[in-house]
């Protein structure tokens, strides 16, 4: 097939070499398409693709244990799913369901995008939750270059992993830390029922900026991000404006907030609040044990997550008058609608 003097193989290679490869998903999808074509598939359900993706990453991480994402100290959804599976937190069936639900949102619609534009041919069409493999993918796999095409995909995967490893020098340590917390964690629960308990300490005041919160603006946040701790234990939950929560996102807050969190938990314990026994069970019998436990989780999070929400060194939204003024204006604007 010719198109603008380029043939099908050229467009395939352009996807692998020049497509945005901040993670290995596009390479894994290319490998999946090759294997599905070898199996004479023409129509592939999302569940079938998820099973293929799951097995590719499971084998890849078992044999090589290399980072699959360029961004330092972060891991992909696929790595997190595999870790959950390997630590017996979820079954293989549940893992594949999670892949189908969470792993394809970006890669399927963007696979054919190179330098911000779609290439003029397609290797599949995506309709109604199914991939329809086109003649183009069958063409490059069935011709005399099949062996070379397959080798190029795996070589590109090797090259990306090597580049990501250079950027993530502590990759093994980070993965070990994450596996520890995943093994001791559990899937998300509804945490909104904790609002009255938490508010008995915060009194309608945002944990991060110190400004008042109005009904409808209150969100429950994990101080140490859930992407690491993998649980919804109340010692790590606080109330915040939705705006402040969105500013923090999955980052760690600066150390001032960890001290504030430790003191908040001690307030509950000293005041004989009903959650006192739960906090002692989760954190330890003495103040020293509880403080040491939270500080250890925070230090692990600094290694695994690698960045904190502090803007510049020493920044603290709670004492930053500009930030607090911005919050007040934002809240006032919201109140008009």
Rg for the chain, CA atoms, rounded = 24
Read off the pLDDT of residues 261-291 as tens digits, 9 standing for 90 and up.
Answer: 999 999 999 988 889 999 999 999 999 999 9
Q: How confident is the model at residue 318 (pLDDT cuts 50, 70, 90)?
A: confident
DSSP string, 82-147: HHHHHTTSS-HHHHHHHHHHHSSTTHHHHTTEETTEE-SS-SEEEETTEEEE-HHHHHHHHSTTHH
Q: How confident is the model at residue 2 (pLDDT cuts 50, 70, 90)?
A: very low
Bridge-based pairing state of the strands 130-133 and 6-7? unpaired
pLDDT of residue 1: 43
* Of 201, 324, 199, 317, nearest in space to 257 by CA: 317
pLDDT of residue 167: 64
- On the question of pLDDT at 169 being above 90, the answer is no
Check if the beta carbon of residue 32 is closer than 8 Å to that of residue 49: yes
- On the question of pLDDT at 238 being above 90, the answer is yes
Q: Where are the domains of the chain?
A: 2-183, 192-335
H helices of the chain, where?
A: 8-18, 25-38, 46-63, 77-86, 92-102, 107-110, 135-142, 146-167, 171-183, 195-202, 226-229, 242-248, 255-270, 276-283, 287-305, 321-335
DSSP string, 166-194: HH-TTHHHHHHHHHHHHHT-------GGG
- On the question of pLDDT at 138 being above 70, the answer is yes
Q: What's the token pair of residue 228?
A: 């690491």
Q: How confident is the model at residue 136 (pLDDT cuts 50, 70, 90)?
A: very high
In the numeric block, the tokens 């041919």 are attached to: 121
- On the question of pLDDT at 156 being above 90, the answer is no
What number is the average pLDDT over the span 296-315?
A: 75
The mean-pLDDT minimum among 5-9, 56-60, 101-105 falls in: 5-9
């Amino acid at each position: 097939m010719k198109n603008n003097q380029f043939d099908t193989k050229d467009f395939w290679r352009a996807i692998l070499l020049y497509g945005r490869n901040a993670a290995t998903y596009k390479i894994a999808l290319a490998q999946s398409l090759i294997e599905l074509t070898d199996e004479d598939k023409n129509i592939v359900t999302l569940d079938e693709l998820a099973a293929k993706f799951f097995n590719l990453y499971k084998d890849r991480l078992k044999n090589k244990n290399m980072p699959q994402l360029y961004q330092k100290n972060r891991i992909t959804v696929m790595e997190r799913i595999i870790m959950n599976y390997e630590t017996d937190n979820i079954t293989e069936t549940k893992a594949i369901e999670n892949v189908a639900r969470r792993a394809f949102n970006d890669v399927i619609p963007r696979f054919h995008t190179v330098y911000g534009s779609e290439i003029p041919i397609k290797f599949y069409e995506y309709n109604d939750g199914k991939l329809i493999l086109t003649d183009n993918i069958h063409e490059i796999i069935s011709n005399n270059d099949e062996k070379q095409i397959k080798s190029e995909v795996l070589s590109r995967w090797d090259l990306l992993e090597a580049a990501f490893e250079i950027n993530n020098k502590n990759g093994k340590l980070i993965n070990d830390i994450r596996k520890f917390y995943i093994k001791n964690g559990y899937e998300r629960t509804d945490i909104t029922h904790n609002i009255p308990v938490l508010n008995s300490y915060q009194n309608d005041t945002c944990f991060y900026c110190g400004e008042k919160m109005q009904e409808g603006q209150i969100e429950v946040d994990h101080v140490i991000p859930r992407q690491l701790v993998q649980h919804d234990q109340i010692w790590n939950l606080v109330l915040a404006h939705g705006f402040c929560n969105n500013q923090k996102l999955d980052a760690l807050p600066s150390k001032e907030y960890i001290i504030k969190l430790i003191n908040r938990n001690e307030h509950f314990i000293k005041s004989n609040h009903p959650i006192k026994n739960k906090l002692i069970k989760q954190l330890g019998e003495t103040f020293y044990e509880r403080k040491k436990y939270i500080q250890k989780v925070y230090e692990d999070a600094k290694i695994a997550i690698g960045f904190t929400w502090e803007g510049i060194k020493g920044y603290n939204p709670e004492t930053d008058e500009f930030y607090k003024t911005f919050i007040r204006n934002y809240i006032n604007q919201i109140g008009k609608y």
